[in-house]
Amino acid sequence: MESKVKLPDCWMSVLGDEFTKPYMQDIRKFLATELSKKKVIYPPIDSIFEALTSTPFNKVKIIVLGQDPYHGYGQAHGLSFSVNSSMPIPPSLRNIFKEVLANYPNSTFRNGNLASWAEQGVLLLNSSLTVEANKPNSHQNIGWNFFTDAVIKCCSQSGKKVFMLWGRHAREKIKLINSENNLVLEAAHPSPLSAHQGFIGCNHFLKANQYLEEQKLSKINWDVN
């Protein structure tokens, strides 16, 4: 796992110690064992840290927290809520796009790959960075939470960030965030099962850009082209 990933130096400067801790060694051993059993793991091993490689620490403006990667074939590529360009747009992402459109009616979405958001400073982070094929949340207890909690804390401590916490699991992470020095936006999960309980109409995409403007930072273009 370690040999196939090169995180930007700015991430290594704040997270480098995490890779030497026992929990990370346990994750590495677990994944190696699962792969030796011919189990299929998503995203591909070389994309596990794609959220961090796509959005360097010194470029992070917004953190969108998901739970774990998509568990279907060809979907996950290391960014929360995002799928490879060739895949159909999943239901939760469709609702995310609907909410963007409510805030920015001229937005366009050609596919479900959110790499353009990541490149602009939107850290698309899942709490668990891997999952077994067709088994949602199957890796939620292997130790990833220690690593991704460290990511959240680092972003919070640097201040002036927007945290989008959607659903119970994400909202539990508020305890890791300094809400005085960051904007914390909470809502229901965009899943069709819960989107109408507060996600639809939350205006998070508009509020995030308004906050960035107040901080003299460039706004996010939410188009997906």
Q: Summarize pLDDT for 73-85 with one digit per residue, the tens.
A: 999 999 999 999 9
Categorize the per-residue pLDDT at 5 as very low, low, confident or very high, splitting at 50, 70 and 90. low
Q: What is the DSSP string of 147-185?
A: HHHHHHHHHHHH-S-EEEEESHHHHGGGGGS-TTTSEEE
pLDDT digits (tens, 9 = 90+) for 89-131: 999 999 999 999 999 999 999 999 999 999 999 999 999 999 9
224 pLDDT exceeds 70?
yes
SS in 3 state form for 86-117?
CCCCCHHHHHHHHHHHHHCCCCCECCCCCHHH
Pick the closest to residue 111 from 75, 72, 64 (CA basis): 75
pLDDT digits (tens, 9 = 90+) for 129-179: 999 999 999 999 999 999 999 999 999 999 999 999 999 999 999 999 999
Pick the closest to residue 123 from 212, 53, 216 (CA basis): 53
Q: At what angle do helices 22-36 and 144-158 cross, to 10 degrees?
A: 130
3 pLDDT exceeds 90?
no
Strands 131-132 and 162-166 turn out to be unpaired
The per-residue pLDDT of the chain, averaged, comes to 96
21 pLDDT exceeds 60?
yes
**Phi, psi (rounded to 5 degrees) for 41:** -120, 140
Supply 112's token pair. 């479900």
Question: Position of tokens 């998503």?
Answer: 42
What's the residue count for the chain?
225
The one-character DSSP state at 214 is H
Give the mean pLDDT of 16-41: 96
Dist CA 115 CA 95 (whole Å): 18
Categorize the per-residue pLDDT at 13 as very low, low, confident or very high, splitting at 50, 70 and 90. very high
**Predicted local distance difference test score (pLDDT) of residue 225:** 86
Dist CA 55 CA 178 (whole Å): 21
Catalytic positions, written as ranges: 68
